[in-house]
Amino acid sequence: MEKIIIEVDKNFEKELNDAVISSKDEIVIVNTNKFEGIGEIIQAMVVLGGVTIPIIGKIIIEAIRSKKHVVIKKKGFIVSGISEKNAVQILKDLSHGD
């Protein structure tokens, strides 16, 4: 299973905490930071799979609609500026490996 890191605005902390509970350890909050110009962000490590893609996809889409910070990282690659139309497809593509 492939792992990614997602970064979202700290406003989505409750949603991420709920995701951690429902994902059975496939989503783990790893960091919370404050950056100049961005504000506070929260990072979560996600094992991509059938359970986590819809959960994380929903959080990412909500963040995009709210015009909040969203970044997906995988093995040194950074994906940002994604649209709500292609967010879930990007997660599915990343789940298939390199």
Q: Where are the domains of the chain?
A: 3-95
pLDDT for residue 55: 92
Q: What is the pLDDT of residues 7-59, one digit of tens each?
A: 999 899 999 999 999 988 899 999 877 766 667 889 999 999 888 999 999 99
Q: Comparing C-alpha atoms, which of 72, 39, 43, 74 is closest to residue 57?
A: 72
pLDDT tier at 98 (50, 70, 90 boundaries)?
low
Give domain 3-95's CATH number out of 3.30.70, 1.10.3470, 3.30.1490, 3.90.380: 3.30.70
User: Is residue 63 within 8 Å of 69, Cβ to Cβ?
Assistant: yes
Using the CB atoms, write b or e for 23-41: b if 16+ within 10 Å.
beebbeeeeeeeeeeeeeb
